[in-house]
Amino acid sequence: MKDLPSWIRKILNSDNLTCGRCDKIFSRKELISVGIQKSSRKPHKEILFIGIACDICGEMTIFELQEMGLLNLAFEIIEEQTEEYTNKKKRELDKEMNNSNTRKRPGQPNNQPNNQPNNQQQQQQKIRSKITRKEIKEDVRILNNIKYHEDFLVALGMSLDDIEKYRFKKRKKRKKNEDK
């Protein structure tokens, strides 16, 4: 199965689950289902199960792993995917930071023959923002000094006519809702 949670993989690898008919030890490749169902044993609570089909004899076996509800399973899966995504992004950022640290800075001598920048340097230079730190600081200062919503909308680039049209639509909608 694709995107199998690591804790289920660990259970499969450590428990040596075997086929009831031919005693073959199952591997991850034979896993066909993961889910939540009521236990076949009393007190019939919700449990996590896995379904495995033997590739030798074709027998399907269902193993009850642990007590778990559907929401718990969903949160476990989402949590693991979030961790994997976060780790992946962290590695990409680390790699990008390492690349940017090795990139030629203005005023540094170029170690390449005939002063031709390589493709990687050209791509990194294209990605560089055109906004200066001074512009960012100025915009932050302006936004921090804004006291009214209309001033904020103007700072974003809305014209006074657009703001008035927005107010008119809002009043019209409010009046319509009050009439109901």
154 lies in some domain: yes
d(CA 101, CA 29): 43
Q: In this predicted structure, which of 60-74, 88-102, 105-119, 149-163 has the lowest mean pLDDT?
A: 105-119
The residue range of the domain holding 146 is 133-175
124 has pLDDT over 60: no
**Share above pLDDT 90 across residues of the chain, in percent, rounded to a whole number:** 0
For residue range 3-52, list pLDDT tens digits in order.
677 777 787 777 778 887 888 888 777 888 888 888 787 887 888 888 88
Taking the model in full, what pTM does it have?
Answer: 0.41
Asked whether residue 25 is assigned to any structural domain, the reply reads yes
Number of structural domains found in the chain: 2
User: Is the pLDDT at 110 greater than 60, yes or no?
Assistant: no
Residue 89 falls within a domain, yes or no? Answer: no
Does residue 41 belong to any structural domain of this protein? yes
Q: Per-residue pLDDT for 1 more than 70?
A: no
